[in-house]
Amino acid sequence: MKRQRQSKRHQKPSATANKRIVTTETTEITTEPKVEVRKPATLAQALTEPAVAVIKPETKVTKTRRTRRVA
């Protein structure tokens, strides 16, 4: 029977390796304005009402993760 090797990601740490791993995760939230043009729905409204520009806030979340070994 052939034995498959585990990938390095799934291997258990050896007893001699006494290293700790520290993971730092930072979350950055940015809010940017987004311009949306609202147009009238029907022909009668289009003839009497102009299109309206609406500014909406748009939120973006970015996460960065850093992993480092501590001796």
pLDDT, residue 13, reads: 58
pTM: 0.43
| pLDDT band, residue 10 (cuts 50/70/90) | low
pLDDT digits (tens, 9 = 90+) for 13-61: 555 555 688 888 999 999 999 999 999 999 999 999 999 999 999 999 9
Q: Would you report the helix, strand and coil content of the chain in percent, each value rounded to 5?
A: 10, 55, 40
